[in-house]
Amino acid sequence: MVKTKKNLLITGGAGFIGSHVVRLFVNKYPEYHIVNLDKLTYAGNLENLSDITFKSNYEFVKGDIVGRKFISELFGHYRFDGVIHLAAESHVDRSIKNPLPFIDTNIIGTANLLGAAVDTWQKSTDKHIFYHISTDEVYGSLDEGGFFTETTPYDPQSPYSASKAGSDHFVRAYQNTYGLSVIISNCSNNYGPNQFPEKLIPLFINNIKNEKPLPVYGKGENIRDWLYVEDHARAIDLVYHQGNVGETYSIGGFNEWKNLDLVKLLCKIMDSQLDRKPGSSAELITFVTDRAGHDLRYAIDSSKITQLLGWNPSLQFEQGIEQTVNWYLQNTDWLENVTSGTYQNYYKEQYG
């Protein structure tokens, strides 16, 4: 192919975070040709990108990163200048039911991309970055005190986080062994528009809307650090363009919430937005059997990216969560499309 622009590969761009990253890059960088590679699993949804689909610097390719020959041919065709890798199996509960797709996509798929990048860039003198998007879950679980940082030892506890940890190790090994220019960032829990309603916040918004039980695992005492998805996408942009090769960046909101407190806040906002009697949504809270191996607390210290790259979260949580609730209430077609069909089977199997 004759290249007139820099070809940037973004994997998993039809998913939750990936779609926000693709939108940001397509709108901000007309000088790039953005190729969004996505298998369109249950979590991939091209509706997430309907506003940018027809932009001339955007192209969608349906494909599976687990297919080694396919990935090698894709790199041969596009001669990508850089990669931002988000494609993954991402839901902890699904990894507990069946870890194998997590090993395939998150480890083998990542290794396929790394191998193709090494082959494509080995003789080039240009700067090429392989940027791998990872999670704070690779560090395991915290007690009440302290934060994960870039130097916290890996201690993954679920099949999902073990597969992400494996992929992170392969990324670093490819730099060390083959000289690939890599960057990794590890982010805390994201929330916002377009998140598949298997994850806590959109699942509970949908259930409150439909007056269905809110299945809180255990006693609801687990703690997560929440970040608005567009703030993560901005961080990814900064790290890709200004981050140092070989480095790791922690990204988080310094915004810890106990699950039960978060669910009560959601209930309060939904009561008000849906004009329901105050306290009525909270009556839906139902304590159910805890998640196996449930990590108690995640909290990440993101001061490095703030100090070195000037990144900060832009939204207060109360503002972001209200904006998020409104998005799901307004985008009823999106929510109905993703919760029909196979979602119902998943829901029955997971929650009975």
Q: Is 182 in the site for ligand DAU (CB under 6 A)?
A: no
N-terminal to C-terminal alpha carbon distance within the chain: 51
Measured on CA atoms in the order 230, 140, 250, 121, is the torsion positive or negative?
negative
Q: Active site residue: 58, 160, 228, 328, which one? A: 160
Catalytic residue status for 136: yes
Please list every residue from 9 through 48 that binds ligand NAD, using CB under 6 A: 11-12, 14-18, 38-41, 43-44
Q: Which does 222 bind (CB under 5 to 8 A by kind): ligand NAD, ligand DAU, none?
A: ligand DAU
Concatenate the DSSP letters of all residues of 241-273 into one string.
HHPPTT-EEEE--S-EEEHHHHHHHHHHHHHHH
Within 8 A by CB and 6+ apart from 201, the residues are 191, 195, 262, 266, 321, 324
Question: Which residue's CB is nearer to ligand DAU, number 26 or number 200?
Answer: 200
Query: Restricting to residues 274-333, which ones interact with ligand DAU according to CB under 6 A?
Result: 291, 298
Q: Of 168, 161, 164, whose CA–CA distance to 183 is shortest?
A: 168
Q: Which does 216 bind (CB under 5 to 8 A by kind): ligand DAU, ligand NAD, none?
A: ligand DAU
Q: Which CB, 33 or 39, lies closer to ligand DAU?
A: 39
Here the tokens at position 186 are: 């590890």
CB 142 within 8 A of CB 160: no
- Region of 26-34, 146-154, 182-190, 275-283 interacting with ligand NAD (CB under 6 A): 182-190
For residue 215, give the 3-state DSSP assignment: strand
137 is catalytic: yes
Encoded tokens for 249: 């960046």
Q: List Cα–Cα distances, 265 to 257, 262, 271, 347, in angstroms.
A: 10, 5, 10, 23
Residue 41 interface partner, choices ligand DAU, ligand NAD, none, CB cut-off 5-8 Å depending on type: ligand NAD
Q: Which is nearer to ligand NAD, 189 or 222 (CB)?
A: 189
Q: What's the helix, strand, coil split of the chain in %, to 5?
A: 45, 20, 35
Q: Which stretch, 62-70, 73-81, 252-260, 317-325, contacts ligand NAD (CB under 6 A)?
A: 62-70
DSSP assignment, residue 192? S
* Torsion sign (Cα): 274, 231, 254, 296: positive
**Residue number with the shortest CB distance to ligand NAD?**
15
CA 143/CA 146 separation, integer angstroms = 8
> Given 137, 168, 231, 256, which residue is catalytic?
137
Site for ligand DAU in 82-121 (CB under 6 A): 90-92
Stretch 308-347 residues interacting with ligand NAD (CB under 6 A): none
Taking contact as CB under 6 A, which single stretch among the options 41-49, 55-63, 75-83, 132-140 is the one that binds ligand DAU? Answer: 132-140
- Residues near ligand NAD (CB under 6 A): 11-12, 14-18, 38-41, 43-44, 64-66, 86-90, 105, 109, 133, 135, 164, 187, 189-190, 196
- Residues near ligand DAU (CB under 6 A): 90-92, 135-137, 188-189, 199-200, 203, 215-217, 222, 224, 259, 291, 298
Positions annotated as catalytic residues are 136-137, 160
